[in-house]
Structure 1
């Protein structure tokens, strides 16, 4: 009987000291991945604040979250702010859409890790804002939440897993005109 009491206390003590890990809400599955989704463009920092209200009226964006257990990703779409593009109408802030394929197992494992608690001793990160979509064979997509380090930057494992994938296609899209082209001189 004493052994059962000791075992019960030891088990209770073990449970009390174990950290509670709660799974975050699952990501909403979207019809397709879209780097030009108004919410994605806003997260990349490319839309002026006065335009975000109009973007919110278009409907709910794909909600980032945990990858649903029944979602079978077959490729990745990486959206990032890519500087500017020039055209006849001016200079535009741009989004780069990069499609990647390969062994997704390391990426999926890295995305399941919890984020670290924020710390106050962080230097400014030079990380480029990036949004990630996982895409299945039917083209449906989810936006996973990236686990972050103590400074809020994506963990190195996620970045390494993305770098290991094969880039199959890259496209740049103009998003927000930052400098209009002036009238031609000499007319």
Structure 2
């Protein structure tokens, strides 16, 4: 009996080691999960449906709702098992990535890959049941980004397929392997939500910028990289950054100007995000950050050389006194020298306290305020 104990411990250790290495595998003998419904057939593949898990962030409330696609794209049906009599001829993978520019501006985009070939292995992989979590289930903490998967038959009918999952909720590798063996026959980017309007894009302006006082406090200029597209665009939250190196404005011969309107009603009201596949997302946990004030892009212009010549003195004028007057409009100025935009902007309050913010808050020249308000 004493000789068998090491064997039992070795087997137990091997099972534990395999479990930890896999990160997602259930213990042997655990039953498969049940209850995945059969998928509903629809007229077309729709990677732009607003309720798809990968799309919900860009369809959040307040993201230029007049230009999103929710009016023309209804919610997609829930993903499910492939119907027994459904014979697909193509698979479509929808991944939120990149952007698309058109006459209206820059849109957050979804990339759609079309894959064709022998879909038998894919159907077999999709027919596998999902695993139930086991007792003391060990799982990795990483989050898996899973594309939406659609199948289409020869007549154009489509269905949204459910990915079989492991005991940890990760997709089973058999589905990925089957997709990789199919031929990639087409890739296209489709628009989802207009993030930057054409006037703002042409002027190099962002759609949303922190107010001047807030920007000075957090070291945020308002020009940040969009988390969705990886390009200059609208931000959901300000990103504190170290204060920029003080730049000399001597010799500037022009400036591009972005004008913003502040909506006081949006200061502290937390937004409820839309329901996504039965899960509700709320901004309540982020309300301290969302209570910060923002300005929404209004229009843009350029300063004449005469008006721009006021900037060097204005950026080192008298310090502004303490002030708490309400702000409704401000300007974000990008000084230029020999046609090149400098990397350090200037913000000016057009009403309220009427301060100029460069490395600190200053009293701007009346002529500069007049040029901006004019």
Q: Which residue of structure 2 lines up, in the alignment, with residue 121 of structure 1?
A: 139
Question: How much has 1:76 moved relative to structure 2?
Answer: 0.7
Question: How much has 1:94 moved relative to structure 2?
Answer: 1.4
Q: Is 1:158 the counterpart of 2:170 in the alignment?
A: no
Q: Which residue of structure 2 lines up, in the alignment, with residue 34 of structure 1?
A: 46
Task: Give distance in 2, aligned partners of 1:20 and 1:94.
Answer: 36
String of CA shifts for 1:79-99, please: whole Å, max 9, x gaps: 111233456755432101111
Whose helix proportion is higher, 1 or 2?
1
Give the conservation status (yes or no) of the 8 Å contact 1:81–1:128: no
Task: Give distance in 2, aligned partners of 1:19 and 1:34.
Answer: 34
Larger Rg: 2
Greater RCO, CA 8 A, separation 6+: 1
| TM-score (normalizing by structure 1) | 0.74
Question: How much has 1:48 moved relative to structure 2?
Answer: 3.3
The structure 1 segments of at least 4 consecutive aligned residues displaced by more than 6 Å after TM superposition are none
Unaligned runs of 5+ in 2: 1-28, 63-68, 204-255, 257-301, 304-374
Change (3 A) 1:114 1:61: same
Instruction: State the secondary structure of the residue aligned to 2:98.
Output: strand
Task: Give distance in 1, aligned partners of 2:145 and 2:32.
Answer: 32
Task: Give distance in 2, aligned partners of 1:49 and 1:21.
Answer: 32
Task: Give distance in 2, aligned partners of 1:116 and 1:21.
Answer: 5
Q: 2:37 aligns with which of 17, 21, 25?
A: 25
| TM-score (normalizing by structure 2) | 0.40
Task: Give distance in 2, aligned partners of 1:20 and 1:169.
Answer: 35
Moved more, 145-154 or 56-65: 56-65
Instruction: State the secondary structure of the residue aligned to 2:42.
Output: coil
Task: Give distance in 2, aligned partners of 1:30 and 1:43.
Answer: 20
Q: Which residue of structure 1 lines up, in the alignment, with residue 165 of structure 2?
A: 148
Task: Give distance in 1, aligned partners of 2:41 and 2:94.
Answer: 17
Give the conservation status (yes or no) of the 8 Å contact 1:37–1:61: yes
Question: How much has 1:56 moved relative to structure 2?
Answer: 9.3
Task: Give distance in 2, aligned partners of 1:46 and 1:63.
Answer: 18
Change (3 A) 1:83 1:123: farther
Task: Give distance in 2, aligned partners of 1:150 and 1:21.
Answer: 9
Instruction: State the secondary structure of the residue aligned to 1:158.
Output: helix
Q: Is 1:48 the counterpart of 2:59 in the alignment?
A: yes
The alignment covers a number of residue pairs equal to: 169
Task: Give distance in 1, aligned partners of 2:115 and 2:108.
Answer: 23
